[in-house]
């Protein structure tokens, strides 16, 4: 369904909405020394990896393997590691993860595999970890996530996971998907924000706007008592030019927005949801786009396709 919605938007709306943006290019990345592979080289590897410190690894799956080009995150503690999302099927993610653990002096380290949410481009590599020793693959439903991370009241409560000398917080953030979570790492002061906040199209079904807005409010409240320097999401879909998004399912791109958003972007997304009014409509902002859509878009068209009859 997300692909169908994306097709409708690409074909009918994005070109006109893009004209609303200014021409201010995104600032160069502060966190990453290299530009991310974006499919320009047909021989680029299935994964590009960049490190944040010595124990946090960011992996991007190549556009040449999937137009989704998801970002995955490997956090290493003293006693176990955490993999956030497994991308799109068809590539050997397990081998890449084991290589990174071995290269950092943690060969064979116990591993927890979790997901920001249950969409296929975030869980596609799960099967590769099914027979890995000392590995837990967390389920995809809200009940699975709540049970594993000790979240008593979903979505109001926050769960935790101890990696040994490094504890992460797991914040339920339904709206884009019923089981969506964000993961906060106090060591790096990064919020791994999945598809809830990222430089791209923030998809949600029309009647989920209130649930999505409530999730963003809870995360904003969390950030008032925790230092959130950066948000790292699941994709990059925006161009460097403010308010402009890439069209279609291309295998290559030029001029992408940087991956990271500052912690202040939480306030920007909160304000966007606060400003919805009587009903949500497709609306571009400099670094993201609100993209509400009907559960069944047949015979309907954006941007006002959530308008009540």
Question: How does pLDDT run across 85-97, given as a tens digit for each residue?
Answer: 999 999 999 999 9
Tokens of 89: 């099927």
| Chain mean position to CA 112 | 18
Least reliable range by pLDDT among 88-92, 259-263, 294-298 = 294-298
pLDDT of 143 above 50 = yes
Neighbour-count burial of 223, counting CB atoms closer than 10 A to its CB (0-12 exposed, 13-18 middle, 19+ buried): middle
Range of the domain at 86: 2-293
Task: Tell me whether residue 186 is in a domain.
Answer: yes
Structure confidence at residue 39 (pLDDT): 96
Task: Sheet containing 190-194: give its strands across.
Answer: 159-162, 167-172, 181-185, 190-194, 230-233, 261-262
Task: Tell me whether residue 131 is in a domain.
Answer: yes
pLDDT of 13 above 90 = no
State the CATH number of the domain containing residue 255: 3.60.15.10
pLDDT of 19 above 50 = no
Average pLDDT (70-83) is 98
Could you tell me the pTM of the whole model?
A: 0.94
Query: Which candidate, 220, 268, 266, places its Cα nearest to that of 243?
Result: 268
Average pLDDT (272-296) is 96
Task: Tell me whether residue 306 is in a domain.
Answer: no
**What pairing do the DSSP bridges indicate for beta strands 71-76 and 81-84?**
antiparallel
Structure confidence at residue 6 (pLDDT): 54
Structure confidence at residue 107 (pLDDT): 98
pLDDT of 123 above 90 = yes
Task: Tell me whether residue 184 is in a domain.
Answer: yes
Structure confidence at residue 299 (pLDDT): 86
pLDDT of 297 above 80 = yes
pLDDT of 134 above 80 = yes
Cα–Cα separations (whole angstroms), residue 269 to 196, 272, 273, 289: 9, 5, 6, 9
pLDDT of 200 above 90 = yes
Cα–Cα separations (whole angstroms), residue 147 to 158, 200, 287: 12, 30, 34
- Maximal CA-CA distance, the chain: 60
Q: Which band of pLDDT confidence, cut at 50, 70 and 90, is reported for residue 27?
A: confident
Structure confidence at residue 25 (pLDDT): 58
Identify whether the C-beta of residue 119 lies closer than 8 Å to the C-beta of residue 146.
Answer: no
Distance CA 69, CA 65 (A): 8
Mean pLDDT over the full length of the chain: 92
Query: Which residue bears the tokens 């290559």?
Result: 252
Task: Tell me whether residue 298 is in a domain.
Answer: no
pLDDT of 284 above 70 = yes
Peptide bond into 117 cis (omega under 30): no
Task: Tell me whether residue 176 is in a domain.
Answer: yes
State the alpha helices, DSSP H only, in the chain: 2-12, 14-18, 93-103, 120-123, 142-149, 209-225, 265-274
Distance CA 241, CA 286 (A): 8
Share of the chain above pLDDT 70, in %: 92
| Torsion-angle region of 164 (φ positive above 0: left; ψ -120 to 50: alpha; else: beta) | left
Task: Tell me whether residue 242 is in a domain.
Answer: yes
Total domains in the fold of the chain: 1
Least reliable range by pLDDT among 89-103, 196-210, 240-254 = 240-254
Task: Tell me whether residue 269 is in a domain.
Answer: yes
pLDDT of 20 above 60 = no
Buried b (16+ CB within 10 A) or exposed e, 131-153: ebeebebbbbebebbbebbebee
Structure confidence at residue 171 (pLDDT): 98
Structure confidence at residue 18 (pLDDT): 42
pLDDT of 219 above 70 = yes
Distance CA 111, CA 164 (A): 12
Distance CA 52, CA 117 (A): 23
To the nearest 10°, the Cα dihedral for 199, 202, 203, 205? 180
């Amino acid at each position: 369904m997300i692909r169908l919605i994306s097709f409708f938007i690409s074909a009918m709306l994005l070109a006109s909405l893009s004209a609303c943006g200014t021409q201010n290019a995104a600032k160069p990345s502060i966190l990453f020394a290299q530009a991310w592979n974006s499919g320009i080289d047909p021989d680029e590897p299935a994964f590009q990896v960049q490190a944040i410190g010595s124990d946090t690894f960011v992996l991007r799956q190549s556009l040449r393997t999937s137009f989704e080009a998801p970002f995955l995150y490997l956090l290493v503690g003293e006693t176990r590691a955490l993999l956030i999302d497994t991308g799109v099927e068809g590539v050997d993610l397990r081998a890449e993860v084991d290589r990174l653990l071995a290269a950092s002096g943690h060969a064979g380290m116990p591993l927890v595999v979790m997901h920001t949410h249950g969409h296929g481009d975030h869980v596609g590599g799960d099967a590769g970890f099914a027979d890995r020793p000392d590995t837990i693959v967390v389920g995809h439903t809200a009940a699975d996530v709540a049970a594993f991370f000790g979240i008593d009241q979903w979505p109001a409560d926050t769960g935790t996971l101890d990696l040994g000398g490094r504890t992460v917080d797991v914040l339920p953030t339904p709206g884009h998907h019923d089981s969506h979570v964000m993961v906060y790492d106090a060591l790096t002061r990064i919020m791994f924000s999945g598809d809830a906040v990222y430089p791209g199209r923030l998809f949600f079904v029309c009647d989920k706007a209130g649930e999505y807005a409530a999730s963003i409010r809870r995360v904003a409240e969390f950030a008032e008592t925790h230092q959130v320097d950066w948000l790292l999401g699941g994709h990059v879909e925006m161009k460097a030019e403010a308010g402009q998004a890439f069209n279609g399912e291309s295998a290559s791109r030029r001029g992408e927005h940087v991956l990271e958003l500052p912690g202040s972007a939480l306030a920007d997304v909160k304000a966007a949801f606060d400003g919805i009014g009587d009903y949500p409509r497709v609306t571009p902002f400099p670094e993201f786009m609100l993209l509400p859509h009907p559960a069944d878009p047949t015979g309907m068209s954006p941007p006002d396709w959530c308008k009540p009859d």
